[in-house]
Structure 1
Amino acid sequence: MKKILLVPALLLGTLAFAQDYNYEVTPVIGYNIAEGNLNLDNQVLYGAEMQYNGFNSPIKPELSILYTDADYENSTISTDIYRIALNGVYEYGKFGMIKPLAKIGFGYETIDKHLADNRDGAFFNAGIGAKVPFTDAIALKVESVYMLKNNNSRLNSNLALLAGINFAFGPKAQPAPAPAPAPKVASEPVKQEVTKAVALEKVMEVKAAEVCPPKINLHINFKFDSAEIEQESVGRVNKFADFLKCTPDYKAKIIGHTDSIGSEAYNQKLSQKRADAVRNMIIKDGVPSDKITTSAKGETEPIATNKTDEGRAENRRIEAELTKN
């Protein structure tokens, strides 16, 4: 079955990875491998996993519910086993079509028939897995989850191999919209002598050239998972603000970027925070707010590889885009 499910996933290699929706639900089926001294046969598992992506954090909360009807070894007796767990899920950067994940958490197990010293109790679990997309909001999800339980003064373990179809839904995280440009107001023509207007314009251009700094670009970098402007970058932001204050015919768009560590939705929000931080500093320096807009690109436009620390450091940045009226 797993091989059959992987075929359409590979055929859909041109599809983009699923965007981060607020909610994910995954009905799962799998196989539970029980430790020998539990005296339980290995059995099929059924269940569901529910994940919430709305928090601005790379760790996503997940609720997992699993059920199995297990037979005791060398016996005609079977028992219902229910497990419920609360986990933290971390999704790594993309590797081709595959998005690896890891999770860790705690849960509680109830056993219908308490034979062989098996008891209800809390357990620790940790797992690894991956998602392979079919569409924007549907993906194959596979996992291997190790569960460790203190069972009547002895440690026992189970290994669950799970597969399911992951459904994502709910609103997508969107960057804050850029402020609308100020409406153009038609001005009444002013009658004046052409020679005087030309002379006055040339005088203003000469004065502006004497006072205003030359046209500059702005590009600063940030620390990992931070939107705080480093002290070494403050001077560059101030110089850029001075240029904008002195040149009323220029406007700027501040574009935020991140590396690929963390989920796409989290990086989208982080890049918006970086752009907003620079915009706020420029406005604080005296530049009118309608001259500065922002845009968030998240991890979508790297300028260096995300496979090295140096490359990721280059990608954690903002850039300024100047336009002339």
Structure 2
Amino acid sequence: MKKTLFFAGVLHILCSGMVADTYNYELQTIGSVEFTGEDSVLEEHLKTFGVRANKRLSHNWMAGLGYMKTNNAKFENISAKTDIDRYFINAFYEIDSNKEYTPYLITGLGYQDFERELQNAKSGIVAQAGIGFKTDITQHLQFLLEGKFLRDFENATNDFIVSAGLSIPFGYEPKSAPKPIVKPEDSDKDGVVDSDDLCPNTPFGIKVGPDGCPPDSDKDGVYDYKDRCPATPVGVEVDENGCCLDSDNDGVVDFKDKCPNTPKGAKVDENGCCVDSDNDGVPDFKDKCLDTPEGFDVDQQGCPIVYNFMINFDFNSAKIKSKYLSKIEEFAEFMKENRTYKAEIQGHTDNKGSNRYNKKLSLQRAKSVYDMLIKFGVEADRLTYVGYGEEKPIASNDTESGRAKNRRVEAQLFTK
């Protein structure tokens, strides 16, 4: 289906009519060597061949369709091969030359189709850009040579391609007799007469378009000769140098910044948001305890204050099941590595039963955890235990899920 659409496009180009100064159409056949980038999963050198059909739009501009084929491309680290088909819409800008060759610029956007998508090699959008030249072999045959960069957006790779081939120009039309030369005024000497010049004060030596204005390739309102960031995405607000705004100076431009008011000097991620290395909810620039283990509640400075052992006891029991010992051991290791802390082991219950009963049961459960921490090597003089019964709920006792959260044993941390 893709090839059918491609060759239908070629037929459209060849059958469309237009008037040009030299020839109107050209057919090209090309052989290439592709040097893959370091991030590519394919072999370093790929051999490709292709065909192009182009149509002249103006004296300098041509446009057309292209097709490139790579057979049996090898993957880098596995014994597998794949065919690659690429389809392009291309634009050419021919640079006027009085010599025997014609230099030109080429740019194109297309689609790359992998026959086998292995090692994260996926089909998707590609773009190419480069330079080349053509020279006449005969009136109806030209030799061409090109160097291009290929950007694979889907796989985030950059390749370099060297191509050579033959071009067949046709559709010549006789040139009309030259008209008498009337030299109109061109105040800024940019090659565009004042009556047509929309930018009459262009600095001397700056290349301009037919309207007398310098090119603005990325359409950001800053001419290329002033633009320090020439590839700004369309529609993004820029400064006087043509660069994307970064209002909070965090290194992430505003159109990518999901946290636009980051404090000055704070380390941020690729989204412009403050880094929180230990995922405790306190960003690193505020965090005085950067390596807090998972499972701790922390204070505003990111330092641990409460550890929930997440233990479920059987009804009317203070015996710790073996599956919960890892949580107790984890806290014991933290205490042994952070000797500036003391801890109060706190037992809590829901509101079922009498307050006196709940006090006693919560104390027994807290002591069970306390005793186990000592077995795991925590000094007894750094630990205390207490039973609070139903006095300190963290959820509603009106629901089963709330009561389950209230039946807990926690460690409240203190510094010595």
What TM bracket, shorter-length normalisation? Answer: 0.3 to 0.5
Q: From the two aligned structures, give the one with the greater helix fraction.
A: 1
Higher relative contact order (CA 8 A, sep 6+): 1
Instruction: State the TM-score, normalized to the length of structure 1.
Output: 0.48
Structure label with greater radius of gyration = 2
TM-score (norm: length of structure 2): 0.38
